[in-house]
Structure 1
């Protein structure tokens, strides 16, 4: 199956400093791709460049066969790219229900379709249905992460980008998020790009990996090829 997202020799700067130095990768529909590496090697910058928050200096970003380098962030989002950033970025003063409604506004749909989409999110994350009136800011880290992923899914994405989804979350919720990603993968249409340093989580959920070092891809392959030697070389501190 052809890639839904392709980065070809992408370079990007932040405040005049070169962060990405020729990043090349691809993500296909129906697979989870892990983007791995130590802190500061450019993983989050890669995600933000895909979404248009940071412009790429050179190289190309292709989505569904079309260049999106010059498109605004909101245009990329409406085209089907959903981003759950590190820190989740939920609206803390809005309720769980209001946060989810914000996700529904991205795409026009009938009332029945909106209700069906919301019920699907509640089925994936039952805890959210129990606290629709609770403010997002009082939720635990794991509950906020489930809310952030649920809100992203309500935009009806074709590409779901997750930045450190297991960070600061208790093991039981990590397991639930992993099971949810595997369930979404089984549906065979949604592509997922995952930045994650928890190696066991990547091995459990992902199909392929890219390991970054100093702003470029240093190793890649099927998740079965992520050996302990590669982990020690590119991931361990």
Structure 2
């Protein structure tokens, strides 16, 4: 791994509607690794992701991407620099077709026609169902199909860091396995760094290299995925 993290959060504080949500959050993601951000509902996980992407301004602390501060960088520039976000709920365009949704991902990064075709073929290789459904509206897809579309669209932005918020939520077990295998394949073949918010412990153990847990807006534990023991789960994750 590189000596420099691809992403570094240092003492991030953030408020929503006047209430302090994040309290000194610090974490790193190294190039080519998968990091799981875990915790009970309402502890600040999604808010942390929103500060990274620029959807939420933070009040203090520093966010660095590829060793450069991005505290004041707008959302669209963060995307062009290589941060892709698959939010909870997926945020696909329901009235656009699968093909049109994918084309939206291609607009973030300037490409030649052959480069765009290569990127699309890569997504179809990862998620074959998308090629079969190009003319279907996004809103009629199943939850698992929508998640594959959302991840595929994010990959078409050419990210260096892929951020996923609850990628297994509301999805059947076979598609959870497919998504897990895809994330491992992306890491192995392309060295893509990933930060995922996830409550499904077994999924994290299967896909992640390291973990952080959060409680009341702060990091409460961290370590290698081998250190995510049943005792840690009971103390920091169980309701």
| Range of TM-score over shorter length | over 0.9
Deviations 1:41-80 (A, max 9, x none): 0000000000011111111000011100011111111110
User: What count of residue pairs does the alignment treat as equivalent?
Assistant: 237
Give the alignment partner of residue 61 of structure 1, picking from 52, 63, 74.
Answer: 63
The 1:131–1:188 alpha-carbon spacing in structure 2 relative to 1, beyond 3 Å, is closer
Deviations 1:64-103 (A, max 9, x none): 1110001111111111000000000000000000000000
SS of structure 2 residue aligned to 1:192: strand
SS of structure 1 residue aligned to 2:59: strand
Moved over 4 A (4+): none
TM-score, normalised relative to structure 1? 0.99
- 1:132-147 to structure 2, matched below 5 A, reads 132-147=134-149
> Is the deviation greater in 187-196 or in 159-168?
187-196
Aligned to 1:116: 118
Pair 1:35-2:37 in alignment:
yes
Aligned to 2:181: 179
TM-score, normalised relative to structure 2? 0.98
Checking the alignment, whether the CA contact within 8 Å between 1:8 and 1:23 is kept in structure 2 is yes
Deviation at 1:187, TM superposition (A): 2.3
Query: Mind listing any 5+ residue stretches in structure 2 that lack a counterpart?
Result: none
Aligned to 1:213: 215
Deviation at 1:188, TM superposition (A): 4.8
> Is the deviation greater in 153-162 or in 186-195?
186-195
Give the root-mean-square deviation of aligned CA atoms.
0.6
Pair 1:98-2:120 in alignment:
no
Deviations 1:177-233 (A, max 9, x none): 000000011025311000000000000000000000000100000000001111011
SS of structure 2 residue aligned to 1:56: coil
Pair 1:8-2:10 in alignment:
yes
User: Matches of 1:146 and 1:163 in 2, distance apart?
Assistant: 13
Pair 1:81-2:75 in alignment:
no
SS of structure 2 residue aligned to 1:187: helix
Give the alignment partner of residue 228 of structure 2, picking from 214, 218, 226.
Answer: 226
Deviations 1:5-61 (A, max 9, x none): 000000000000000000000001111000000000000000000001111111100
Aligned to 2:127: 125
